[in-house]
Amino acid sequence: MNELWLGIDVGSISTKAVLIDNNNNIITSKYILTEVDPIMAVKKIIAYLNQMLPSNSIIRGIGVTGSARNLIGKMLDATIVKNEITAHAIGTMTRHPDVRTILEIGGQDSKIILLENGIIVDYAMNTLCAAGTGAFLSSQAARLGVPVEEFGNYATTAKSPIKLAARCTVFAESDLVHKAQVGYKKEDIIAGLCRSVVLNYLNNVGKGKKIKEPIIFQGGVSKNKGVVKCFEEILDMPVKVDEYGHLLGAFGIAILSKKTKTNKTYSLNIENIEFKTKGYECNKCSNTCELLSFYKNKDIIDVLGSKCGNML
């Protein structure tokens, strides 16, 4: 019997999943857009993994991380639910044991993790500003009429990258429109955008942090060669991008699920199970908590959002 472990990273923009074996080899993986519906995204991704499941295999554990981790953890009765910092650190250190700095930029979130001798010594996540995230790049790609997947190619051919206001999304967008209207080349504008993303990240997420080599850059934005180039130029250090950089959160939480050493067996046959939520406001005390009842078929499996427990 081939034992496998499932890791799922449910983010605001994308949902990632990996199946690993006992030697931490990635057997199969999937990356899809969350589309503001993490439950449906997870059902789609598990349906895919179920089709790709090798014969004579069983799922021994499920780990969940990401912004929707608590909801999806309940949905799947997960073995372990952990924050993104822990999951990304474990996933990255497993593939790069000597890593000292992890740069991560996703769709709406970005983070930096500093490590010494395999131990997290410091970390930070982005504030409310989205100027240093993939969502910002995607919105500007639409404005410029260029697929965001081609940004890297445009940026690396720029001869005179422009300077854009890097600290605020609104200012950066206004600056971009102005530069386009006065006639700057598209590749120079795109290179300027990539540079503004890096500067925003370093000024906000990386502010006051001592960035040391080896540096691993991950998250969806790590696939943008223009952003990678800007990081290397500004930091004056080599920045490595893992081929599985967009999956390392899911990879890390899969490893953590394996470490629980449960004897439980999980099924991926959830296609015909209905999961739904119902939101309401509790008025049993002055907290007036916004609660979310979570149902599996017609049975309630949990109530999320309580600050005091009065809804029980």
Domain with CATH 3.30.420.40 in the chain: 2-90+250-259, 97-241
Question: Would you say 194 and 136 are in contact if contact means Cβ atoms under 8 Å apart?
Answer: no
Q: In this structure, how many other beta carbons lie within 10 angstroms of the beta carbon of residue 120?
A: 16
Cα 243–chain centre separation: 15
Q: Give the pLDDT confidence score for residue 132 in this predicted structure.
A: 60
Q: Give the pLDDT confidence score for residue 166 in this predicted structure.
A: 58
- Report the predicted TM-score, pTM, of the whole model to 2 decimal places: 0.88
Q: Give the pLDDT confidence score for residue 148 in this predicted structure.
A: 77
Distance of CA 222 to CAs 174, 218, 227, 272, Å? Answer: 25, 5, 7, 36
Q: In this structure, how many other beta carbons lie within 10 angstroms of the beta carbon of residue 163?
A: 11
- Extract the tokens encoding 88: 């990304």
Q: In this structure, is the dihedral angle defined by the CA atoms of residues 206, 212, 218 and 223, taken in order, positive or negative?
A: positive
Q: Which residues of the chain have pLDDT under 70?
A: 127-132, 165-172, 309-312
- Of 142, 236, 140, 156, give the one whose Cα is nearest residue 193: 140
CATH class of 97-241: alpha beta
Q: Give the pLDDT confidence score for residue 240 in this predicted structure.
A: 97
Q: Give the pLDDT confidence score for residue 151 in this predicted structure.
A: 80
Q: Give the pLDDT confidence score for residue 170 in this predicted structure.
A: 64
Q: Give the pLDDT confidence score for residue 42 in this predicted structure.
A: 97
CA distance 223 to 80: 29
Q: Give the pLDDT confidence score for residue 223 in this predicted structure.
A: 86
How many Cα atoms within 13 Å fall on the side-chain side of residue 107?
16
Q: Give the pLDDT confidence score for residue 291 in this predicted structure.
A: 85
Phi, psi angle pair for 202, to nearest 5°? -70, -35
Q: Give the pLDDT confidence score for residue 165 in this predicted structure.
A: 67
The CATH homologous superfamily of the domain defined by 2-90+250-259: ATPase, nucleotide binding domain (3.30.420.40)
